[in-house]
Structure 1
Amino acid sequence: MRFLYDIFFLVFAVGYLPFFLAKGKHRGGFLERLGILPASVRRKAAGRETVWIHGVSVGEVTLAVRLGKELKAVFPGTPFIFTTTTPAGKQVAEKLKDPGDTVLYFPVDFRFCVRRFIRNVRPRLVMIVETEIWPNLIWELSNKAVPMVLVNGRISDKAFRRYRRFVFFLGPLLRRFSGIGAQDETMRARFVELGADPARVKVTGNLKGDWRPPDDKAPATADLKGLTKARGWFLCIAGSTHEGEEKILFELAGRLRKKRPNFRLLVAPRHLHRLSAIEAEAGKNGLVHKSLSDFLKNSANGRDADVILLDEMGLLGALYEAADLVFIGGSLVPVGGHNPVEPAYFGKPIVFGPFMDNFKEMAQAFKQAGAGVESSAENLESEIAFLMDHPEKRAALGENAKHWVSRQAGAIQKNIEVFLK
C-alpha cells in the first residue's frame, strides 16, 4: 500500500510542479520543504527532543502557536517547532511565537523528505491542528513510536463524502494516531466511521473558542476605532473575502452610501495577492479606496474613502473590535465560509451568506442562538440596511454571539487534559 501511495504522490507532484513554480508565493522555503533545515535549527534540536505542532495556514497555525504556549507548562524547557504550508502562515507564526520557538515549512510528503525532517527536529510529540492526513508522515512517526495527536478535528461534508470511498486506506492511518480531538459529536462520528479507534477519539471542543486577539495589534485597532467613531462612520468589515464577493459588496456599498452616507466598508481579502484586482473592482464601481496602512498613517487623506482595503496579514482578527457589523467572507460564493468566532469574541453582529459548508454546524448554532444572520447576495443590502437602522437588533446579535463564544472556551485545556496528562 505504501509503495502504491509513493507512486501516486510522485505522479501528482510532477504534475503539480509547474503550478507550484508559477505561484511564486509558495516557492519560499524550498529546502525546508525537502527536509533540509538550517544549521541553526539542527543545533537547537541537537541532543534534545522537540514538540512539533503543525497548522496548514494562517488560521490553523495561529491556533497551533496558542496551543504551544499552553503546552510549555507540560513540557518545560523543551524546544517547540511550528510548521505551516503557506508563506502567509509562516509570516503570522513568526509574529506570534515566543522568542525561542522555531517556525518552518512543512515537509513534502515524500518518504525521504519526511525522514530527513524528523531526523533533524527529533520530535517527542507531534500535534496536528485540524485534519491534515499525510500518509508518509504518519507512517514514519508511527514506526518511530512518536505520539501523534490530531486536535480541533473536523471533516467537511464534501471531504467526508470523498473520504468514505477510501476507508480501506484512511482507517489504518487514523488508527495510528494516539488521540483525535473532534470539535463535536458529528465530527467524532465521522472519524470513527472512517476507521479511527473509537476509544481514542474524544470530543474536545473547538480551539477557536480560546482565541484571543494578539496584543501587538491593539494600537492599529484603537486607531481605526477612534478615527471611524470620530467621523460618525458605520463600519462594516467584510473578513476573508474571495473572488466574486468584492463585486457584490462594492455594488451594495455604492447604493448604501447614497442613502446612508455614514456607511463605510473595510474589505479584508483572504489572499493579499488579489489586492490589485480588488482595487480595480472598486474603481469600476466608482468607489474611492484607501489601503488601511495609508489610512492610518495619514487619516486626513482618507476622509473621502468609501472603501478601506486591509493590506496586512494577521491583523483582521483584532480589527473586528472596530466594526459595527461583520460580514463573513467565502459565504456568498461556494468556498465554504470562514470561522465567525473572532468577531463573535468582540460581541459583533454577524452576517454570512448561504455557503457556510465548512462551518455548517457552527453557522446553524449561531442562527439558533440569535448570534448570526444568514442572507443571500440578493438580500444582503437590505439586511445591512435593516441592521444599520435597528441598533437594538445589532446589540442583541452581538451579545448572543459573545455569549456563545464564552461557552466554547476551554478547548485547549481539555485537549491537554485528555491526551497529555
Structure 2
Amino acid sequence: MRALYIGLSYLAAPAAFFLLLWRGFSNHGYWQRLGERLGWGAARASQDTIWIHAVSVGEVQAAVPLVEALVQRFPGIPIAITTMSPTGSARAAALFGDRVLHSYAPYDLPGAVARFFDRLRPRIAIIMETELWPNLYHECGRRGIPLVLASARISPRSMGRYRVMVGLFRETLSHGIVIAAQSARDADRFIQLGAPPERTHVIGTLKFDQPLRRDQARWGQDFRRRHWDSRPVWIAASTHPGEEQTVIGIQQRLQRHGAGTVLLLAPRHPERCELVEQLLRESGLRYCRHSTAGQNDVSDCEVFLIDTLGELNAFYGSADIAFVGGSLVPIGGHNLLEPAAHGLPILTGPHNFNSEDVLELLVAAGAAAVVADERELQARVESLLTDPAERQRRGALGRDAVAANRGAVRRLLEFLQPLLAEGDAGPSAPAFPGSGSSALPRSG
C-alpha cells in the first residue's frame, strides 16, 4: 500500500508546487524558501534536536507552553520547529526568535524526508494535533526516532477520508508511534484507524495550558479605554469568506438601532483583508485598518479591521463578547479557549468539528453558545451587549473552565522525560501514567 502511495505522491508533487506558486500571488511568502519543501536548505542542526511540527498558526500557538516547558526541562537540547505555511513560519519567528531552529517541513516524498532528517537530526519527533504522513512516519521508524502525536485529534469529517485508505494508515500508525489524544473520542478514532490501543492515550488539550499574556490583555484594555470607553464592543475572530458578510450585515443593523457598537473584525488570513475592506466600503460603515490606524480617527470608526498577524489575543482584551469564526461556514471552527481565558462570553456557529470536545465543555459550563444562523447570532449579540451582568457571569464561567482543565503539558512531559533522558529510546517507550484511552474522562 505504501508503494502505491509513494508513486501517487511523486505524481502529485508538480501539482503541489503549482499550488504553492498560485498561493504566492496572495501571499508572497509561498514563493520563498522553496528548497525546504524538498529537504534542501532546511536548518542544519549541530546536534540532535527535539523536533516539533506545527502545521500553521493555530498549532504554533498551541505549542507555546510545550516549547517553554521543554526549554526549561532540557536546556541542553536544541528545539526545531517546522511549519507548512508562511503565516505559521512568521508566528513561530515572532514567538520564539532565535531560541529555536525553524524551517518548512518537507513534502512527504522519501528523498525529501531523508534529506530533511539528515539536516535536522531529530532525537524525537513531536507532531502537533493531526498530520498523518506515511513516508515521514516510516522514516522515523526506520531510524528508531520516537514519534509522538501531541494533543492529537481526528474530526468526524477526517475519519471519512482516512477510512478510504485505512490499510495505508494502519501501516502508518504501526511504527512505534505514541498517540497523546485530546479526548477519549479522538483516541477511539485513532484506534479505529489501526493505532495500537496500548500506545493510544488521553492527555487533554495543550491549548488549555496557553498562558494568558497579561501584557497583551492590558494593552487591549488600554486601547479600548482610549478609543471606545463608553461604547459596546464585539469581536468577530478568525472569520472566513461568507462570515465577513454576515457580521458586517449585523453591524449595519446594530448601527441603525443607534447602539453605537464597535465591531472588531479579524479575518483568519490577513492576506484577505483587501477583499474584506471592499465589503466594508460597500457597506457604508465607517472603518479603520489596524495597520494604518495612526492615519485615521479610530474613536469614530464603526468597524476596526485587524489586518495584522499575531495580535488577535490582545484585541480580545478590548472586547465585551466574542464570535469565533470558521463555524458559520463548514471550516470546523477555531480556538475557543483564547476568548474564554479572557473572560469573554463566546458565540460560535454550528460547524465546530475541529474542536467538538472543547465546545461541549464550554457550552456545559455556560460560557459558550452555538447559533444556527445570522439571525440568531444577531439576537445573541444584542442580548449580551445590553446585559453586562450576564456577560460577566458567562465570562467568569469560561475562565474557570479553562483553569480547571489545565495540565496537558505536565502529562505530556511525564511521558517525554524518559524518551529524552535515554536519548536512544525507540518503539518500546513507556506508557503514560494512567495510560490507555480512559486516562482522562470525556469532556462534556
- TM-score of the superposed pair, with normalisation by structure 2: 0.89
The answer as to 2:19 corresponding to 1:19 is yes
Please report how far the alpha carbon of residue 127 of structure 1 lies from its aligned counterpart in structure 2 after TM superposition.
0.3
Distance 1:9 1:178 in 2: 22
* Contact kept? 1:327, 1:351, Cα under 8 Å: yes
Going from structure 1 to structure 2, the CA distance change for 1:370 and 1:216 (only over 3 Å counts) comes to closer
Going from structure 1 to structure 2, the CA distance change for 1:368 and 1:225 (only over 3 Å counts) comes to same
Please report how far the alpha carbon of residue 215 of structure 1 lies from its aligned counterpart in structure 2 after TM superposition.
6.6
Distance 1:216 1:143 in 2: 45
Aligned residue in 1 for 2:37: 33
Please report how far the alpha carbon of residue 223 of structure 1 lies from its aligned counterpart in structure 2 after TM superposition.
3.9
Aligned residue in 2 for 1:245: 243
Aligned residue in 1 for 2:409: 412
SS of 1:326 mapped into structure 2: strand
Q: 5+ residue gaps in structure 1?
A: none
Distance 1:260 1:354 in 2: 29
- Residues 240-319 of structure 1: matches in 2 within 5 Å? 240-295=238-293, 297=294, 301-319=297-315
Distance 2:415 2:232 in 1: 44
* Contact kept? 1:81, 1:102, Cα under 8 Å: yes
- Residues 9-408 of structure 1: matches in 2 within 5 Å? 9-24=9-24, 25=27, 26-37=30-41, 41-42=43-44, 45-46=45-46, 48-97=47-96, 99-214=98-213, 217=216, 220-230=219-229, 232-295=230-293, 297=294, 301-375=297-371, 376-408=373-405
SS of 2:73 mapped into structure 1: coil
Aligned residue in 1 for 2:6: 6
Please report how far the alpha carbon of residue 217 of structure 1 lies from its aligned counterpart in structure 2 after TM superposition.
4.2
Please report how far the alpha carbon of residue 228 of structure 1 lies from its aligned counterpart in structure 2 after TM superposition.
4.1
SS of 1:97 mapped into structure 2: helix
Distance 2:222 2:89 in 1: 26
Aligned residue in 1 for 2:440: none
For 1:86, give the aligned amino acid: S
Going from structure 1 to structure 2, the CA distance change for 1:218 and 1:354 (only over 3 Å counts) comes to closer
Q: 5+ residue gaps in structure 2?
A: 419-444
For 1:306, give the aligned amino acid: E
Please report how far the alpha carbon of residue 119 of structure 1 lies from its aligned counterpart in structure 2 after TM superposition.
0.3
Distance 2:103 2:79 in 1: 11
Q: Which digits, 9 at most, give the CA deviation of each residue in 1:220-259, with x for residues without a partner? A: 42442322453x1211111100001111111110110122
For 2:250, give the aligned amino acid: L
Distance 1:328 1:95 in 2: 23
SS of 1:347 mapped into structure 2: coil
* Contact kept? 2:178, 2:200, Cα under 8 Å: yes
Q: Which digits, 9 at most, give the CA deviation of each residue in 1:128-176, with x for residues without a partner? A: 0001011111111110001111001110110012212322111121122
> Per chain length, whose mean CA-contact separation is higher, i.e. which structure has more relative contact order (CA < 8 Å, sep 6+)?
2
For 1:353, give the aligned amino acid: G
Aligned residue in 1 for 2:439: none
Distance 1:291 1:254 in 2: 18
Query: C-alpha root-mean-square deviation of aligned residues, in Å?
Result: 1.7
Going from structure 1 to structure 2, the CA distance change for 1:92 and 1:119 (only over 3 Å counts) comes to same
* Contact kept? 2:216, 2:313, Cα under 8 Å: no
* Contact kept? 2:248, 2:280, Cα under 8 Å: yes
Q: Which digits, 9 at most, give the CA deviation of each residue in 1:344-373, with x for residues without a partner? A: 001111111112222222222222221111
Q: Does 96-105 or 233-242 show the bigger shift?
A: 96-105
* Contact kept? 1:61, 1:83, Cα under 8 Å: no
Q: Which digits, 9 at most, give the CA deviation of each residue in 1:187-246, with x for residues without a partner? A: 11111111111111110000000112457745742442322453x121111110000111
Q: Which digits, 9 at most, give the CA deviation of each residue in 1:243-279, with x for residues without a partner? A: 0111111111011012243210010000111111101
Distance 1:147 1:67 in 2: 17
* Contact kept? 1:228, 1:235, Cα under 8 Å: no
For 1:326, give the aligned amino acid: A
Identical pairs, percent: 36
* Contact kept? 2:106, 2:113, Cα under 8 Å: yes
Aligned residue in 1 for 2:437: none
* Contact kept? 1:246, 1:278, Cα under 8 Å: yes
Distance 2:59 2:161 in 1: 22
Q: Does 365-374 or 122-131 show the bigger shift?
A: 365-374
Distance 1:9 1:268 in 2: 35
SS of 2:118 mapped into structure 1: helix
Distance 2:280 2:228 in 1: 24
SS of 1:379 mapped into structure 2: helix
Please report how far the alpha carbon of residue 23 of structure 1 lies from its aligned counterpart in structure 2 after TM superposition.
1.2
* Contact kept? 1:336, 1:357, Cα under 8 Å: yes
